[in-house]
Amino acid sequence: MTTTATGTPGRAGTDPLVRIEGVHKFFGEHHVLRGIDMTVQPGEVSVIIGPSGSGKSTLLRCINLLETISAGRIQVREDLIGYKEVNGRLHDLSTKAIANQRREIGMVFQRFNLFPHKTALANIMEAPTQVKRQSKTAARTAALELLDRVGLAERANHYPSQLSGGQQQRVAIARALAMEPELMLFDEPTSALDPELVGDVLNVMKDLAKSGMTMIVVTHEIGFAREVGDTLTFMDGGVVVETGNPRQIIANPQHARTKEFLSRVL
Amino acid sequence: MSQTAKRGSFAGPDDGVERINAVPVRHPGRWVGAAIIVLVLAITAQSLITNPRFHWDLVGTYLLDTLVVQGIGWTLILTVSSMVIAIALAIMLAFMRQSENPLFRYVSWVWVWFFRGTPVYTQLVFWGLVATLYPKIIIGVPFGPEWFSMDTQTVVNATVAAILGLGLNESAYLAEIFRAGLKSVDNGQMEAAEALGMRRSKIMWRIILPQAMRVIVPPTGNETIGMLKTTSLVLAVPFTYDLTFVTNTIANRIYQPIPLLIVAAFWYLLVTSVLMVGQFYIERHFGKGVDNLTKAPVKPAAVAAAVAHAHNPAAPADPEPAAPTSEGGTTP
């Protein structure tokens, strides 16, 4: 029921970048994810929507191991996330191996989570210099380029507290991009923003999508899903209710729950 | 209140807006209070000047006495060394307490439990007696051969015993202060750094601890000033060169305790004041980006140059820019 008929342009036939199979997640007794299957092709923009508590953020956090899954498997490229398989048995990965897996996956948070004691520039330079051991000069040039790309070059030496929410979120996107990830995860990136600041962030995300970045976006911005998304997935109660072409689903949802949700947010 | 007063007297820019110039609320009680305080101060000053038993001449004689100045030096050495040991241990203990390794967590907990749970005086006496308990320090295999041995007395002399006693005891208190500081940093900071692929030790040093310092510095300054005074307990070791012991000795010799107490108090107060100035600058440093919003020293020219550089290779790119590769392909 959850086969993804992705309309990814030009990339058909390649192996999926992200493969999520039968994923369950329990928080104590609470069964948050109840068997999620999902694939994301390289270059695809996969948008996940759903009411709060549907497990969409949890699923996203499982992909870069901010949460560990209770059952199933998540694979990014050929890497099994969080584990290695030896003779058919799963072994926990060392913290070093986990850090290595995370390098390939960028994450943007609802609450930005910029480092408040560092300037915008230093925020972006932190991971390339500390994790990838890039030289400061190279990292600074790349960081300024990224800041320019998100339209904030002249804010390089501002601290996060001196930036608006929308500007902070764009710096956060630049910070994630500085690690040159092959996958970007967005966890409700515009939910904490004033309405007039949402557009700037969405524009940066649109440009990123156009550049061919693979993105999984948890959002309430139906307009973004329709315009930029290659796939739309509607989650509710820890299961995928419906998935497919965003324009078709938004125009003509097949399930009652999808219909009801869309009628409330549109 | 001060705001209205300021606004009233402030000559605004010539923008044609007539500022509010309200009559401030009167506070007659404050004038009465101020008068009483001035009176009390006057009485105190009069007694200080006219009471001959203060012996201000002796205070003057002994304020810069060689023994006293050396005493200040030793007190400072004890304070600084024990605080350095305590801070280093406290950072380690606080990190251990937050570790995923249960062994580290237990060791840290037991350390704090023990050193906070026994009096510092008792600990100082113990370190003074350690050479009696273990006359020789021997390195070798238990129940096996000895490789190296030396007299404990030469290693743990009175100075080392005093510093160890003060430092280890203080580390337990500081560990709790550091733990509180680390906990005060939003969990999202750890997640953001983890998502960037940073290792835990690096996240602690570069992301969490610098932010925690905002919370850690004020109580640590408090502890440092406390330590300055706690050093007077080192006679328990016995260590006999610190400021309190020295002024006490002089007082007993000349049968004049009051002027020597004043000498000691003066120096403790002066050193405390200097420490407070230092604390101000440390707080300002760690308040960067939160309490202290002066922009970081980035040369505007360098920014402009780098932006121009960023524009050039990016400009000719077609509407479908090779964006993810463009960052990697920069040449300095």
Cα angle vertex B307, ends A174, A154, to 5°?
70
How far does the CA of residue B217 sit from the closest CA of chain A (Å)? 15
Is the CB of residue A79 less than 8 Å away from at least one CB of chain B?
A: no
Question: What pLDDT shows up at residue B6?
Answer: 46
How far does the CA of residue A63 sit from the closest CA of chain B (Å)? 10
Q: Express each pLDDT in A42-54 by its tens digit.
A: 999 999 999 999 9
The span from the CA of A144 to the CA of B305, in Å, is: 10
**Side chain identity, residue A16:** P
Mean pLDDT for A223-227 is: 94
Q: Which residue would you say has higher pLDDT here, B317 or B68?
A: B68
* Partner-chain contact A126 B289, CB within 8 Å: no
Q: A140: which residues sit within 8 A by CB, 6+ positions away?
A: A121, A125, B306
* Chain B residues inside the 8 Å CB shell of A128: none
Question: What pLDDT shows up at residue B305?
Answer: 63
Question: Residue A193: how many CA atoms within 13 Å on its side-chain side?
Answer: 25
Q: A210 pLDDT exceeds 80?
A: yes
Question: What pLDDT shows up at residue B323?
Answer: 37
Question: What pLDDT shows up at residue A3?
Answer: 41
pTM, two decimal places:
0.82
Q: Which residue would you say has higher pLDDT here, B146 or B32?
A: B32
Peptide bond into B238 cis (omega under 30): yes
* Partner-chain contact A138 B198, CB within 8 Å: no
Question: What pLDDT shows up at residue B303?
Answer: 61
Is the CB of residue B322 less than 8 Å away from at least one CB of chain A?
A: yes
Q: Express each pLDDT in B24-46 by its tens digit.
A: 999 999 999 999 999 999 999 99
Q: What percent of chain A has pLDDT over 70?
A: 95
Q: What percent of chain B has pLDDT over 70?
A: 84
How far does the CA of residue B277 sit from the closest CA of chain A (Å)? 22
- Judge whether B223 and B173 are in contact, CB under 8 Å: yes
Mapping DSSP onto H, E and C, the string for chain B reads CHHHHHHHHCCCCCCCCCCCCCCCCCCHHHHHHHHHHHHHHHHHHHHHHHCHHHCHHHHHHHHCCHHHHHHHHHHHHHHHHHHHHHHHHHHHHHHHHCCCCHHHHHHHHHHHHHHHHCCHHHHHHHHHHHHHHCCEEEEECCCCCEEEEEEHHHHCCHHHHHHHHHHHHHHHHHHHHHHHHHHHCCHHHHHHHHHCCCCHHHHHHHHHHHHHHHHHHHHHHHHHHHHHHHHHHHHHCCCCCCHHHHHHHHHHHHCCHHHHHHHHHHHHHHHHHHHHHHHHHHHHHHCECCCECCCCCCCHHHHHHHHHHHHHHHCCCCCCCCHHHHHHCCCC
> How high is the ipTM of this complex?
0.90
Question: What pLDDT shows up at residue B103?
Answer: 97
Q: A1 pLDDT exceeds 50?
A: no
Q: Which residue has the tokens 């060392």?
A: A94
* Chain B residues inside the 8 Å CB shell of A178: 327
* Chain A residues inside the 8 Å CB shell of B299: none
Question: What pLDDT shows up at residue B147?
Answer: 84
Q: A2 pLDDT exceeds 70?
A: no
Encoded tokens for A121: 């520039």
* Distances A255 to A235, A242, A252, B189 between C-alpha atoms, Å: 11, 7, 9, 39
* Partner-chain contact A119 B298, CB within 8 Å: yes
Q: B310 pLDDT exceeds 70?
A: no
The span from the CA of A180 to the CA of A119, in Å, is: 20
Cβ atoms within 10 Å, residue A28: 6
Tell me which residue in B200, B298, B314 faces A95 most closely, judged by beta carbons: B200
* Partner-chain contact B323 A131, CB within 8 Å: no
Cα angle vertex A19, ends A16, A21, to 5°?
150
Question: Residue B29: how many CA atoms within 13 Å on its side-chain side?
Answer: 1
* Partner-chain contact B195 A115, CB within 8 Å: no
User: Which pLDDT band holds residue B69 (cuts at 50, 70, 90)?
Assistant: very high
Q: A78 pLDDT exceeds 70?
A: yes
Q: What is the CA radius of gyration of chain A?
A: 18
- Count Cβ–Cβ pairs < 8 Å, chain A vs chain B: 152
* Chain B residues inside the 8 Å CB shell of A109: 188, 191-192, 195
Could you tell me whether strands A30-40 and A18-27 are parallel, antiparallel, or unpaired per DSSP bridges? Answer: antiparallel
Question: Residue A83: how many CA atoms within 13 Å on its side-chain side?
Answer: 16
**Side chain identity, residue A63:** I
Q: B154 pLDDT exceeds 90?
A: no
How far does the CA of residue A1 sit from the closest CA of chain B (Å)? 32
Is the CB of residue B308 less than 8 Å away from at least one CB of chain A?
A: no
Question: What pLDDT shows up at residue A182?
Answer: 95
Backbone phi and psi for residue A12, each to the nearest 5 degrees, phi listed first = -60, 145
The span from the CA of A131 to the CA of A65, in Å, is: 18
Question: What pLDDT shows up at residue A200?
Answer: 94
* Partner-chain contact A115 B189, CB within 8 Å: yes
Mean pLDDT for B165-172 is: 97
User: Which pLDDT band holds residue B301 (cuts at 50, 70, 90)?
Assistant: low
The span from the CA of A25 to the CA of A260, in Å, is: 26
User: Which pLDDT band holds residue A13 (cuts at 50, 70, 90)?
Assistant: low
DSSP three-state, residue A188:
coil
Q: Express each pLDDT in B180-229 by its tens digit.
A: 999 999 999 999 999 999 999 999 999 999 999 999 999 999 999 999 99
User: Which pLDDT band holds residue A19 (cuts at 50, 70, 90)?
Assistant: very high
The span from the CA of A53 to the CA of A36, in Å, is: 15
* Chain A residues inside the 8 Å CB shell of B217: none
* Partner-chain contact B288 A213, CB within 8 Å: no
The span from the CA of A167 to the CA of A181, in Å, is: 21
Is the CB of residue A105 less than 8 Å away from at least one CB of chain B?
A: yes
Q: Express each pLDDT in A128-171 by its tens digit.
A: 999 999 999 999 999 999 999 999 999 999 999 999 999 999 99
Is the CB of residue B212 less than 8 Å away from at least one CB of chain A?
A: no
The span from the CA of B160 to the CA of B156, in Å, is: 5
Find the range with the poorest average confidence among B9-23, B160-174, B251-265: B9-23
User: Which pLDDT band holds residue A6 (cuts at 50, 70, 90)?
Assistant: very low
Mean pLDDT of chain B: 87
Closest-CA residue of A relative to B187 is A113
